[in-house]
Amino acid sequence: MTSAAISAGIGGAVSRVQTTVSGSATAVAGVETTIPGLAAAAAVLRSGIPALGLAADDALVARLCRYLALLHRWNRRMNLTAVRGMEKMARWHVLDSLSIHRHLRGRVLDVGSGAGLPGLPVALALPALPVTLLESRARRVEFLREAVRVTGASNVHVWHARAEHGKTGEKFDALAVRAVGSVRAVLQTAGHLCAADGSVVMMKGPRASAEVAAAATMRGWRFETVPVAVPGLDRRRCAVIATRAQGGR
């Protein structure tokens, strides 16, 4: 099935959500769609996004629903995510990704973007923020380009490359990393893409302290661990933020 064929059925399902999202959360959850759970996912986004300090206007919710619908359909033929169910994806993927938005500034690079997480939800919520999605696998790059097209994310660029092969002259103000590797591995692989005054924001769970301890011997970096609260998600989450130490390259 081509990307055009996969995307063709999304518009109808999302349009009904889009025309109804201005109503209450209860009304949104009751919308009938061709994708089970899409309306409930819209309700989750409408309540969860403001809790993260962002505006959840109808246009943003509709664009995020387009992304989730595309992810759901593509996931049938390629393993983009192990998370199933629209409402669960809205919490575990979209809200989780948006939880680090306060730590991102300037030019942002999503390292090992995969299904577009965390970069694409952040870019949709913050359209003035230029975001590059870095992904090495061709099939996922195809998905990312289609997701950018479907959501109309004009502030997003898809970069098909491996982090370790990235141009040494290309620097970003913030690197966003989710479910890619250990703190030490991320910095060894992608640290050279971080500007001298930039930061590497890594989304982590309960093992964060052990990963930071293992990376503490790396020269040129200092670390801060910041608790992160994701609305409706009781999993322990945090952001490990690595910044250049004085004299670091």
Structural domains of the chain in order of their starting residue, each with its CATH number = 3-244 (3.40.50.150)
As to burial, measured by CB atoms within 10 angstroms (0-12 exposed, 13-18 middle, 19+ buried), residue 160 is: middle
pLDDT of residue 34: 72
Instruction: Using DSSP, state whether 170 is helix, strand or coil.
Output: coil
Q: What is the pTM of this model?
A: 0.86
109: helix, strand or coil: strand
Per-residue pLDDT, 36 = 86
Query: Measured between alpha carbons, how far is 80 from 78 in angstroms, rounded to an integer?
Result: 6
Q: How confident is the model at residue 33, as a pLDDT?
A: 55
CB atoms within 10 A of CB 77: 10
Q: Decide: 13 and 70 in contact? Cβ < 8 Å.
A: no
Predicted confidence at residue 228, as pLDDT, reads: 95
HEC string of 138-178? HHHHHHHHHHHHHHCCCCEEEEECCHHHCCCCCCEEEEEEE
Q: Which pLDDT belongs to residue 232? A: 92
Q: What is the pLDDT along the chain (249 residues), one digit of tens a residue?
A: 555 555 555 554 454 444 444 433 333 333 335 788 999 999 999 999 999 999 999 999 999 999 999 999 999 889 899 898 999 999 999 999 999 999 999 999 999 999 999 999 999 999 999 999 999 999 999 999 999 999 999 999 999 999 987 665 789 999 999 989 999 999 999 999 999 999 999 999 988 999 999 999 999 999 999 999 999 988 889 999 999 876 555
